[in-house]
Each structure stands twice: as C-alpha cells, then as structure tokens.
C-alpha cells in the first residue's frame, strides 16, 4: 500500500480532518499533504512523514516503509503477472494473504483466480505488499 493510500485510510479512521486542519496540527503544508496523499508515485520527505506519523499516532516506519510500495508499482506488478501468466501473492492490510492469477485489474480493484478456482475481487487500497510467484 502506498503512503498516499495509507494516509487516506488513517485520515478516514481519524474522522476525516481536512488537509488544512492537518497542516495546523503538524506544520506540513496542506498542499504538500494533498500531493503526498494523491500521487501515484513516492512523495513526501522523511521529516514530513515523521510529522504525519506522530499526528496519526503510528510508528514512523509505517509511513517510511511504504514509500516504495506505490500504486504505480502495484499496477506494474499486476500487468507483469498477467504477461508472465504467473500467480501473484497479495498481502492485505487485514493480515490475510491471497494468491492467484490476475484476471483483470483497474485503478480500484483486481480479480484473482485462485488455484482452488475461486474468483476473488481485491480492492487495491487493501493491498499492503505483493510478490509475483516464481519471480
């Protein structure tokens, strides 16, 4: 899960404070906050991420470890799994892991076909980490 996806999740859990409220509470510019939350690539300095981690009361590693796990990287992995006709393992935010072949994906979800023949639709914002099997 990207830092931006994680921030959206944390903001919802906290009751939906506005970027302006977050700026007042953290000192992170509201425009910069929006960029970190909305971009498909890695955004945010270590200092900004540390301030946001403190605001949301999560370990700073929860923010910084997600920098390389962008939505763009997940898109690329889903496409690569299709091209290689290889299963992909998706580790979800709730602690579950799902493995299967990608049947389709878009910006919001992916459909996996498991070895047991079960079709599972996974919302992309629930995916923390992923690995193409055999890669």
Q: Round to whole Å and give the CA distance between 69 and 121.
A: 20
Q: Are 61 and 85 in contact (CB under 8 A)?
A: no
Q: What b/e string do you get for 92-129 counting C-beta neighbours within 10 Å, with b at 16 or more?
A: beeeeebebbbeebeeeebebeeeeeeeeebebbbbbe
Instruction: Output the pLDDT for position 1.
Output: 73
| pLDDT per residue as tens digits for the range 36-74 | 887 755 667 889 989 999 999 999 988 887 767 777 889
pTM for the model stands at 0.69
Query: In the chain, what are the domains?
Result: 3-64 (1.10.260.40), 71-132 (2.30.30.100)
What's the whole-number average pLDDT of the chain? 89
Longest dimension (CA), the chain: 51
């Amino acid at each position: 899960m990207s830092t931006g996806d994680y921030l959206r999740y944390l903001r919802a859990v906290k009751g939906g404070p506005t970027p302006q409220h977050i700026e007042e509470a953290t000192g992170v510019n509201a425009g910069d906050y929006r960029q970190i939350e909305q971009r498909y690539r890695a955004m945010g300095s270590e200092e900004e991420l540390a301030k946001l981690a403190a605001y949301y009361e999560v370990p700073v590693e929860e923010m910084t470890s997600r920098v390389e796990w962008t939505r763009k990287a997940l898109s690329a992995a889903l496409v690569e799994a299709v091209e290689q006709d290889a299963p992909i393992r998706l580790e979800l935010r709730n602690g579950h892991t799902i493995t299967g072949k990608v049947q389709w994906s878009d910006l919001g979800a992916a459909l996996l076909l498991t070895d047991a023949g079960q079709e599972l639709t996974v919302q992309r914002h629930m995916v923390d980490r992923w690995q193409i099997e055999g890669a």
